[in-house]
């Protein structure tokens, strides 16, 4: 699949090459390396991974369910196994999309690019993602699936879409046009059951595993929480917690003891977080708040209990997870990217403010993990370099399990420091999304 053109490429050139030049480190990412990164971002991960919730079941239970589903529902059986280094993670190895040529059908469905990315990672097509469906389409018709890359398809299109589109795969119609585009209709449910995709990722329903037993989660997100290493009976905070995937993993490792606090700043996200924690039987105190403002100012300081909620007293938490809001440029596959340079640059000031709060909340000898799902230097290695200069109390430490690669050149980090951070990208053992995390201890 071709990677998006300008401004997508311009954004990365600005954030990778220009950033390193501005830091005057004498080394920049070559154009050849940049093209390699871009192509990797627009390709498909070769595996899917389920994190098993050991509060409710054991990994073998989920492994057996996945194998049974694949045997009964899929024509081609993928390899399914427990990850060799992560006992609570099950990986599904995709078939090689180049092994067979997918035959296209005359009938077609047009979907948006977000939906297309989800389909290429194993999702079926839910009603809100459908933009166009040919007039006369019937239930159980075989259709080819295309993504509208330029947002030129009008909602409810009834004829062939002749503008630029990318072939995604094939599927079977499960909802008719009037259910999708009728007046005063708010469509829900699976509109097209996906049968095959160009990514080779098997279509995975979300109802063959009992609620709360496991969830699809990228491996770097699992490793990020393992780096935090939360222990039973500790006091831990997840500062930007929704949708709750990492939060529930923390609760699992704490065995639902101690105190786990989760924060997000909008009511919708808090509801999503509450639902995920309830589904996974995770005991969490959840608050709607802006994590930039959840520590008591020094001039107003009076020691208070963490259970009283935000704002919290300084040095209240044994461990802090800051999975920061970011430009999300590590998403794979990227079919289109409409972020501007200014939008990307706007994240660094927010991340720094959140980081300052995280350091204030952390106890001495406590652990802070900073993570993003983007690949820019400014939001990753740049943030680590800034933090080490600003906070003398912080020590960068190597995680207990390293499956990613070292940090990129282009900031003031030394070679030794770059080896201590974890960056996930091309040519690494873990073939997943673009991701970054760094682990600090407060001296």
3-state secondary structure of 69: helix
pLDDT reading at 238 higher than 50? yes
Tell which of 64, 93, 122 closes a domain: 93
> Is position 207 within any domain?
no
CB count within 10 Å of CB 430 equals 22
301 lies in the same domain as 405: yes
> Is position 74 within any domain?
yes
Say what percent of the chain tops pLDDT 90: 68
- Over residues 300-312, the pLDDT tens digits come to 656 788 999 999 9
CATH number of the domain that residue 122 is part of: 2.30.130.10
Instruction: Identify the CA nearest to 46 among candidates 79, 77, 71, 73.
Output: 79
pLDDT reading at 400 higher than 80? yes
CA torsion 9→15→18→22, rounded to 10°?
Answer: 180
Range of lowest pLDDT (3-7, 156-160, 317-321) = 3-7
Local confidence band at 396 (pLDDT 50, 70, 90 cut-offs)? very high
- Over residues 163-203, the pLDDT tens digits come to 889 999 999 999 999 899 888 888 889 999 999 888 888 88
284 lies in the same domain as 413: yes
Active site residues: 373
132 lies in the same domain as 231: no
> Is position 173 within any domain?
yes
Local confidence band at 232 (pLDDT 50, 70, 90 cut-offs)? very high
- Over residues 261-299, the pLDDT tens digits come to 999 999 999 999 999 999 999 999 999 999 999 998 866
3-state secondary structure of 15: helix
Q: Residues in the chain, how many?
A: 443
Mean pLDDT for the stretch of residues 82-101: 84
- Over residues 19-75, the pLDDT tens digits come to 443 444 444 567 787 788 888 888 889 899 999 999 999 999 999 999 999 888 887
The pLDDT of residue 11 is 57
251 lies in the same domain as 380: yes
> Is position 11 within any domain?
no
257 lies in the same domain as 324: yes
**Tokens, residue 407:** 């940090």
- Over residues 110-141, the pLDDT tens digits come to 999 999 999 998 899 999 999 999 999 999 99
> Is position 38 within any domain?
no
Cα separation, 270 vs 256, in Å, equals 20
Cα separation, 201 vs 189, in Å, equals 21
Domain membership of residue 278 as a residue range: 216-442
Local confidence band at 9 (pLDDT 50, 70, 90 cut-offs)? low
243 lies in the same domain as 334: yes
Q: For the packed helices 245-253 and 219-228, what is the interaxial angle rounded to 10 degrees?
A: 40
266 lies in the same domain as 367: yes
The pLDDT of residue 18 is 44
Q: Number of folded domains in the chain? A: 3
3-state secondary structure of 294: coil
150 lies in the same domain as 225: no
- Note whether 19 and 410 are within 8 A (CB): yes
Average pLDDT, the chain: 89
397 lies in the same domain as 254: yes
The pLDDT of residue 97 is 66
Mean pLDDT for the stretch of residues 146-163: 91
Local confidence band at 248 (pLDDT 50, 70, 90 cut-offs)? very high
First to last CA, the chain: 48
CATH number of the domain that residue 310 is part of: 3.40.50.150
163 lies in the same domain as 137: yes
The pLDDT of residue 340 is 81
The pLDDT of residue 29 is 64
Residue at token pair 């045997």: 71
The pLDDT of residue 23 is 43
Which one has a higher pLDDT value, 183 or 206?
A: 183
The pLDDT of residue 24 is 41
Local confidence band at 98 (pLDDT 50, 70, 90 cut-offs)? low
CB count within 10 Å of CB 1 equals 18
225 lies in the same domain as 172: no
184 lies in the same domain as 255: no
> Is position 210 within any domain?
no
Mean pLDDT for the stretch of residues 244-268: 97
> Is position 25 within any domain?
no
**Tokens, residue 18:** 């220009």
Helix (DSSP H) and strand (DSSP E) numbers for the chain: 13, 18
> Is position 24 within any domain?
no
Range of lowest pLDDT (15-19, 209-213, 415-419) = 15-19
């Amino acid at each position: 699949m071709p990677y998006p053109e300008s401004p997508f490429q311009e954004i990365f050139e600005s954030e990778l090459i220009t950033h390193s030049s501005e830091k005057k480190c004498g080394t920049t990412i070559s154009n050849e390396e940049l093209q390699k990164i871009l192509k990797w971002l627009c390709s498909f991960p070769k595996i899917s991974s389920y994190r098993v919730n050991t509060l409710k079941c054991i990994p073998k239970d989920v492994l057996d369910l996945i194998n049974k589903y694949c045997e009964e529902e899929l024509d081609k059986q993928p390899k399914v196994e427990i990850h060799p280094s992560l006992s609570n993670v099950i990986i599904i190895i995709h078939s090689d999309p180049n092994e067979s040529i997918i035959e296209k059908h005359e009938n077609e469905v047009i979907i948006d690019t977000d939906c297309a990315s989800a389909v290429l990672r194993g999702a079926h097509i839910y009603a809100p993602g459908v933009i166009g469906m040919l007039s006369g389409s019937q239930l159980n018709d075989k259709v080819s699936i295309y993504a509208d890359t330029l947002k030129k398809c009008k909602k409810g299109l009834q004829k062939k879409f002749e503008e630029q589109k990318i072939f995604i795969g094939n599927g079977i119609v499960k909802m008719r046009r009037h259910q999708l585009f009728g007046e005063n209709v708010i469509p829900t449910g699976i509109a097209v059951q996906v049968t095959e995709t160009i990514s080779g990722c098997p279509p995975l329903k979300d109802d063959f595993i009992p609620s709360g037993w496991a969830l699809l989660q990228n491996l770097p997100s699992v490793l990020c929480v393992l780096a935090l290493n939360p222990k039973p009976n500790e006091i831990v905070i997840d500062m930007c917690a929704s949708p709750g995937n990492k939060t529930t993993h923390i609760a699992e490792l704490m065995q639902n003891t101690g105190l786990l606090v989760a924060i997000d700043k909008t009511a919708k996200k808090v509801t999503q977080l509450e639902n995920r924690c309830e589904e996974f039987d995770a005991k969490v105190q959840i608050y709607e708040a802006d994590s930039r403002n959840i520590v008591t100012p020094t001039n107003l300081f009076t020691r208070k209990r963490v259970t009283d909620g935000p704002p919290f007293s300084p040095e209240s938490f044994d461990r802090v997870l800051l999975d920061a809001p970011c430009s999300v440029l590590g998403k794979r596959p990227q079919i289109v990217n409409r972020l501007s340079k200014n939008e990307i640059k706007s994240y660094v000031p927010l991340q720094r403010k959140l980081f300052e709060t995280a350091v204030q909340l952390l106890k001495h000898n406590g652990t802070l993990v900073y993570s993003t799902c983007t690949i820019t230097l400014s939001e990753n290695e740049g943030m680590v370099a800034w933090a080490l200069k600003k906070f003398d109390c912080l020590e960068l430490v190597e995680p207990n399990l390293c499956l990613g690669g070292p940090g990129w050149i282009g900031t003031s980090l030394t070679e030794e420091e770059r080896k201590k951070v974890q960056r996930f990208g091309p040519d690494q053992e873990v073939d997943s999304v673009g991701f970054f995390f760094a682990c600090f201890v407060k001296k």
